[in-house]
Each structure stands twice: as C-alpha cells, then as structure tokens.
Structure 1
C-alpha cells in the first residue's frame, strides 16, 4: 500500500497512523521530494478526474488564472501539493481522501 501525500498534512499523518495501527504495511511517498511521473499523474487523473485537485487549498488559490484554467495534469505537475490528499494505492485500487468509506475499506 502506498500513501501519497506531504509530511506536514494532518490528514495524511492521521491516515498513516490509522493504517499502521490496523496492521497494514504502508509506504509513505512525499510527493514534494519524490514527484509523481507524468504516467502516475495521468493514471490518477484518469481515476479521479477533476476531483484529484483540491480547489479549496491555498496552493490552488495562489495559481495564476492560466494555471487555474489548465488541465488537472498540468496543475498537479506544476504544484504536487495541489493534489487532494491523502491518495492511497492499495494494489490496483485507488482511494482519494480520508473519509469513513475509505477508512472502512482499508482497515477491514
């Protein structure tokens, strides 16, 4: 299982702690230090579309009008922290965010 996020994100910390407490083997990937490849970004956007971008984030609000009008792939490539977090890959399954449904699916 891979958790994509940034180490300062409280939700990512909570998800990592919960998953490890449930006995899951989790690899944390800091998307700032180890950016996503174009292929990974394309796969994420194919899976989640516009939802992959956190439009409420300060990162997104700081974008130029041009970047705000760009495709999600370009936004995530330009500023990885704009991606909604955490993004969790469990085998072939993707999970976006840390809601009750995601927690139930991953800690069962």
Structure 2
C-alpha cells in the first residue's frame, strides 16, 4: 500500500497512523508517477484536484484552465490528499467510506 500526500497534511497523517504498514510518498518531494495520475484522473475526474488549496487560489484563470494532468505535474500539491494505492485499486481522501474499505 502506498499513500501519496504531504508530510505536513493532517489528513495524510491520520491515514498513515491508521495504516502503519503503508509506504508514504511526499508528492512535493517525490512526485506522483504520470501513469498513476492518468489512472487516478480517469477514476476520480476533477475531484483529483484540490480546488480549496492555497496553491489553487494562487493560480490565475489561464493556469486553472490548463489540462488537469499538466497542472498536477507542475503543481503536485494540487492533488487532493491522500491518494492511496492498494492492490491495484485507488482511493482518494480519508473519509469514512475509504477508511471502511481499507481498514475493514
């Protein structure tokens, strides 16, 4: 299991605490593989972008209009967190449904 997120994100910390055997990858430092981003975007669509982030608020309209995959490649902190890869399946966020799915 791999958790993609930010080390200073409270939600990512909660997920990592609940999933102590998961590998953590900081998207700011390590990035997210392009193929994984494509798969995640196909599954989650624009929900993959965190439009409430300070990074998003700092973008002008022309940047916001770019292809979401290009935006995520340029600004990995725009990724809604955490993105969790487990046995080939992806989960986004740390809501109750994701917790139930991963914790049983």
- TM-score exceeds 0.5: yes
Determine which of 17, 30, 38 is the counterpart of 1:42.
Answer: 38
| 2:11/2:81 contact within 8 Å kept | yes
* Residue 80, structure 1, aligned to residue 72, structure 2: no
* Segment drifting more, 75-84 vs 31-40: 31-40
Q: Aligned-residue CA RMSD in angstroms?
A: 1.0
* Residue 59, structure 1, aligned to residue 55, structure 2: yes
Deviation at residue 53 of structure 1 after TM alignment:
0.1
Q: Which runs of 5+ in 1 are unaligned?
A: none
Residue of structure 1 equivalent to 2:17: 17
Residue of structure 1 equivalent to 2:66: 70
Deviation at residue 37 of structure 1 after TM alignment:
2.9
Residue of structure 1 equivalent to 2:88: 92
Q: Which runs of 5+ in 2 are unaligned?
A: none
Separation in structure 2 between the aligned mates of residue 64 and residue 41 of structure 1, nearest angstrom: 23
Instruction: Report the TM-score when normalising by structure 2.
Output: 0.94
State the 4+ residue runs in structure 1 displaced beyond 3 angstroms. Answer: none
| 2:4/2:32 contact within 8 Å kept | no
Residue of structure 1 equivalent to 2:29: 33
